[in-house]
Structure 1
Amino acid sequence: MKRILLVDDEEQMRHLLRLMLEDAGYEVGVATNGNEAIALWREQGPWDLLLCDILMPERDGIETIIAIHGENAQQVMIAMTGGGNYHILQVEELLGVAKMFGAKQVLRKPFSLHQLLNAVENAQKAA
């Protein structure tokens, strides 16, 4: 697994995750919301992994995961979120919903470099 599409609306998080993944040897594309992610996924795919935040403007991570899974059920995806509520769902429930719709792994922010790289490796194995 070498190409990762990273989707997060928070600039600092995007920058940090990109640096962490690039330092680990991955090529990383970035998108700031689900609409950008889907466009980039279609234009520059295939991607080896989609690493997608859940709580984002315009098109959230759940909608993004559903859309991409609908076009390619084999796409390896990891969902991540750090907090807040999505309607009536709590963080753990959101991550569970993401798994139901195709995410192979989930990460709760904040997470360590080790947890991130472990999730990437485990998602690849689960594919």
Structure 2
Amino acid sequence: MKRIFVIEDDFYIRDLYVEFFTQSGYEVVTATDGQQALEKVKGQGKFDVILLDIMLPQKSGIDVLKVFKSPEASTKDTPVFMLTNLGDENIIKEAFKLGADGYFLKVQLTPGDIINEIEAFLAKQNKVT
């Protein structure tokens, strides 16, 4: 079973993604803020993918991404997709520069679209490895 870590502070959006990913056969772990995400990732084992909001309490998604993609992090090779409503070009560039594998605007995609994008990415990744 594939494992996804969903880091989202909005309970409605978080619950929606938990439901969609669970129905698609994923084991879903969640965090509601940036600090909780950093703490939870330590004891949860390996994830196949991380879905990370940018505007989070405690620590921003950008700060969390920096830690997740740092050379010593256990998550440095885990695909991270930003899921946000921030369409600012500078933030998008920064996320990719820090190692994000994708950047999704919540208002432009349905949960089904997000799952399809992630599945396509993982399928491509599996062909390469």
Shift of 1:117: 1.1
Task: Report SS of the residue matched to 2:5.
Answer: strand
1:41 alignment counterpart: 41
Distance in 2 (alpha carbons) for counterparts of 1:35 and 1:119: 27
Q: Does structure 1 retain, via aligned residues, the 8 Å contact 2:20–2:112?
A: no
8 Å Cα contact 1:52/1:78 also seen in 2: yes
- Name 2:115's counterpart in structure 1: 117
Per the alignment, residue 91 of structure 1 pairs with: 88
Q: Is the 8 Å Cα contact of residues 6 and 31 (structure 2) preserved in structure 1?
A: yes
Name the structure 1 match of 2:11.
11
Q: Which amino acid aligns with 1:7?
A: I
* Mapped contact 1:53–1:81 kept (Cα < 8 A): yes
Q: Which amino acid aligns with 1:106?
A: Y
Matched residue, 1:61: 61
- Alignment of 1:31 with 2:28, yes or no, is no
Partners of 1:19 and 1:9 in 2: how far apart? 16
Could you say which residue in structure 1 is the equivalent of 2:100?
103
SS at match of 2:104: strand
1:102 CA displacement: 1.2
Identity score, percent: 27
Q: How far apart, in 2, do the equivalents of 1:61 and 1:32 lie?
A: 11
Please give the TM-score of this superposition, normalised by the length of structure 2. Answer: 0.84
Q: How many residues align?
A: 121
Structure 2 residue ranges without an equivalent (≥5)? none
Equivalent position amino acid for 1:9 in 2: D
Q: TM-score, normalised by structure 1?
A: 0.85
CA distance in 1, matches of 2:125, 2:35: 26
Q: Tell me what 1:82 maps to.
A: 85
**CA RMSD between the two structures:** 1.8
Amino acid at match of 1:77: V
